[in-house]
Amino acid sequence: MWKFASNSWSAGSGQMRPRQLQATADSELAVIGMLIVWTSFVFVVFPKLDLAVARLFAHGHAFWLVENPRLKAVRDIARQSQPYIVGAMAVTVVLHVFLPRRLRFCPPHKPLFVLLSFAAGPLLIVQTLKVAIGRVRPRDLIEFGGTADFTPVWQFSGACSRNCSFPSGEAAAAAAALSLLILVPARHRWIAAAIMVPCSLFVAFNRVIFGAHFLSDVMLGWLLTMFAMAMIWRWIGANSRAIDRYVTRLMFK
């Protein structure tokens, strides 16, 4: 994520040619795409791996860490911060329309990238797949005191009609939050990434600890969002100047 985010800095200063940007974006898409394929392959070939990981955090029929105050705080902070992030980015884009010269340190294509990342991952991809796949959450399985049967990842199931397990929306949101790295100055971006990426992964895995999602739910929710972000950046990185000019000129139309 931070790799293609850092390219925006060079692109904006004219140091990177469009062909170089496209080649870099294509290589990133290929890497993330292969991670999605191989992760899916492992969990399809070894479906019981999801159950084995879930059992690590279950004592009998109860997930024993579900009431842990520190883990609950991590989830609450992650969930409650999302509206503020989206709202702040939307306000920043709007301010560029009315105060185009006051926010030169943050060109509009950057907050737009954050907004599109949250729209594509946690909303479009996650909600579409939840309805289409209909996978039951671990805590609702017979193995953990529920009434539903286990189904492997990517297997269509009618057992769940709403708020289903695959993929994890909170894992997708944790991945989308990494788009904020684009707002960090280039010289500090690797340091910020070293802090944010582990935090993002922990927020995602927290859902497995609570018995709310399988490991495959959070891994693929995270990776699918990263893939969507790479695709979005492929377009934004190649058109950043045009996007900035268009937004800042809206006021005068």
What are the C-alpha distances in Å from 233 to residues 43, 84, 214? 29, 22, 29
* Contact indicator for 114, 236 with CB cutoff of 8 Å: no
Share of the chain above pLDDT 90, in %: 69
Stretch 100-116: mean pLDDT:
83
Quick one: tokens of 94?
Answer: 């709007």
Q: Is 19's pLDDT higher than 70?
A: no
The whole-number pLDDT of residue 219 equals 98
Residue 253 has what pLDDT?
52
Mean pLDDT of 240-246: 83
pLDDT of residue 2: 45
pLDDT score of 21: 63
pLDDT at residue 60 in the model = 84
Nearest to residue 25, comparing CAs of 187, 237, 190, 223?
237
User: How far lies 82's CA from each of 76, 94, 130, in Å?
Assistant: 10, 19, 20
pTM over 0.75: yes
pLDDT above 70 as % of the chain: 86
The whole-number pLDDT of residue 98 equals: 78
Per-residue pLDDT, averaged over 24-51, amounts to: 94
247 pLDDT above the threshold of 80: no
Q: Helices 69-98 and 169-176 meet at what angle, rounded to 10? A: 50
- Indicate the average pLDDT of the chain: 88
Task: Place 242 in a pLDDT band, splitting at 50, 70 and 90.
Answer: confident
Answer positive or negative: Cα dihedral of 4, 216, 83, 78: negative
Residue 8 has pLDDT above 60, yes or no: no
The pLDDT score that the predictor gives to residue 102 is: 65
pLDDT tens-digit profile of 126-175? 999 999 999 999 999 999 999 999 999 999 988 888 889 999 999 999 99
Q: How confident is the model at residue 97 (pLDDT cuts 50, 70, 90)?
A: confident
pLDDT digits (tens, 9 = 90+) for 219-232: 999 999 999 999 99
40 vs 46: CA distance, rounded Å: 10
Q: Which of 31-40, 144-153, 238-247 has the lowest mean pLDDT?
A: 238-247
- Token pair listed for 195: 């802090």
